[in-house]
Amino acid sequence: MKIKKGDQVLVTKGKDKGRKGKVVKILSKTNKIIVDGLNLKKKHVKPKKSGEKGQIIEMSFPFSVSNVKFWCAVCQKGVRINYKIDKDKKYRICQKCKKSI
Ligand SMILES: [Zn+2]
């Protein structure tokens, strides 16, 4: 997966299309990511102790990494990521402006 934790991404499909957010978790087995504040769903949380009330919280749920593009701060748009190998080190670069990311 080219997207990494901490990346800014732009959603290109689905209900959050056009929104940006920061990747907080990578689920590489399922090719899914969790983006802070996006794909929010309500979740019922059961009380941990007796006497406590259960509550409903909004959580960011995982969604397919194919629904996002990397947000390049230089280009100010969603871009594809390329790899560049230099002195045996692999860098990620923006396909448009070629800046390393
Ligand atoms: Zn760029």
| In the chain, domain spans | 8-94
Please count the residues of the chain.
101
CA of 70 from ligand 1 middle (Å) equals 9
pTM for the structure as a whole: 0.86
CA of 73 from ligand 1 middle (Å) equals 7
Report the 10 Å Cβ neighbour count for 70. Answer: 22
pLDDT in tens, 66-90: 999 999 999 999 999 999 999 999 9
pLDDT at residue 49 greater than cutoff 90: no
CA of 23 from ligand 1 middle (Å) equals 18
Q: How far apart are CA 38 and CA 45, in angstroms?
A: 19
Supply the DSSP string of 11-39, one letter for each residue: E-SSTTTT-EEEEEEEETTTTEEEETTSS
CA of 101 from ligand 1 middle (Å) equals 9
Q: How far apart are CA 40 and CA 19, in angstroms?
A: 13
* CATH classification (class only), 8-94: mainly beta
In whole numbers, what is the pLDDT of the chain averaged over residues? Answer: 95
Structure tokens at 79: 């871009």
